[in-house]
Each structure stands twice: as C-alpha cells, then as structure tokens.
Amino acid sequence: MTTHDRFAAHEFIHHWWFNYDEGNFDILFPLLTDDCHIKSRTERGDHPHEQFIAADTQGREASMAWTSEHRRHSPYPLRHNATNIFVKAVRGDEIDLESYLFVTQIRENKPSTLSSGIVHFTLLLTAQGYRLKAKETVLDSIESIAFQDVPEVSGRMARWSATSWASNRGTT
C-alpha cells in the first residue's frame, strides 16, 4: 500500500501555481505525466471569454501547449492562490485533491480580483515525487444568489432533506 505525503501533495499545488504565474514552463513540463489530462471551463460554459478559458487536452505535449499559450495571453503580474486544499480520495499511487482558486491581477497599482473557482487535481506518486495526472479548473461565472436558487447545486439541497439534522432545523 502506498503511503502518501499529504504535505508534499499540497506543496505540489502551490509549486504549480507559482511557476505557472511566473511562466516557468521548463519547471512545469516535467511535472506532467505523459498521459495527463487538463480541463478548464466555467460552470455553465457560456462566459463571454469561454473560448479563452476552455480547454480539454490529453497528453503532456498538448497540455503544456495549451497551458503556455493561455498564460502568454494572460496578464502579468497574475497570482493564483489555492486555498482550502484537501485530499478527496486516495487510490494506490494516485491522490485526488480539491481547492478553491482565487486569482488576482494588478489594476491601478492595487491587487484586483480577476477570477475564482474550484480546481480538482489528481496527482500520481512516482519515484521522482508527485506528477500531475489530471487537473480540472471550473471558474466561477454565475452571479451569487441564494444557494437554494442556484440550479447547479440543487442536487446538494435534495441530499440535505434526507438528513436528520435538516429535518430538525428550526427546532431547539
């Protein structure tokens, strides 16, 4: 049974985003598995810049080609901040992590929010350390409204109604 180093897995994500922001593709390229899969989109797929955001690449060469081209046309400085990183699952040599993503740029000499979202990572543990097997980025693009009114999360609300704590809400 493989023992995963959760700190090293978290560190990999921070290492990835730092080097992506700085355009250090010579560092990122060997961090990809030969069969890596990189996807990027917004939750509804209809953002005015969806063509720039969207990706579905398979393999190291194609994934790095999209990644470097996407970065080339993005602002600098650009800062991707991964927060609330946690391990979702472990399967042999693979570890799945999820995190929030908060992206800033500089506008009028001050940090300004550019984007946010959720990123799903699958890392493969190799003799050289963790390597990126899959990354799916889902950027936020819908207007924030009450949770219960967002169609994309309605399934979660249905699961709540089946729990005892949900049926007791409002009682003391």
**β-pairing, 129-139 with 32-42?**
parallel
Q: Tell me: the pLDDT tens digits for 14-55?
A: 999 999 999 999 999 999 999 999 999 999 999 999 999 999
Give the whole-number percent of the chain exceeding pLDDT 90: 84
Task: Tell me the backbone φ, ψ of residue 61, rounded to 5 degrees.
Answer: -65, -50
Q: What was the pLDDT predicted at 165? A: 61
Burial label, 101 (beta-carbon count in 10 A; 0-12, 13-18, 19+):
buried
Q: Which domains does the chain have, with CATH numbers?
A: 6-167 (3.10.450.50)
The model's confidence at residue 169, banded by pLDDT at 50, 70 and 90, is low
Q: Tell me: the pLDDT tens digits for 88-107?
A: 999 999 999 999 999 999 99
Q: Half-sphere exposure of 119 toward its Cβ, with a 13 Å CA cutoff?
A: 25
The Cα 55–Cα 65 span in angstroms is 11
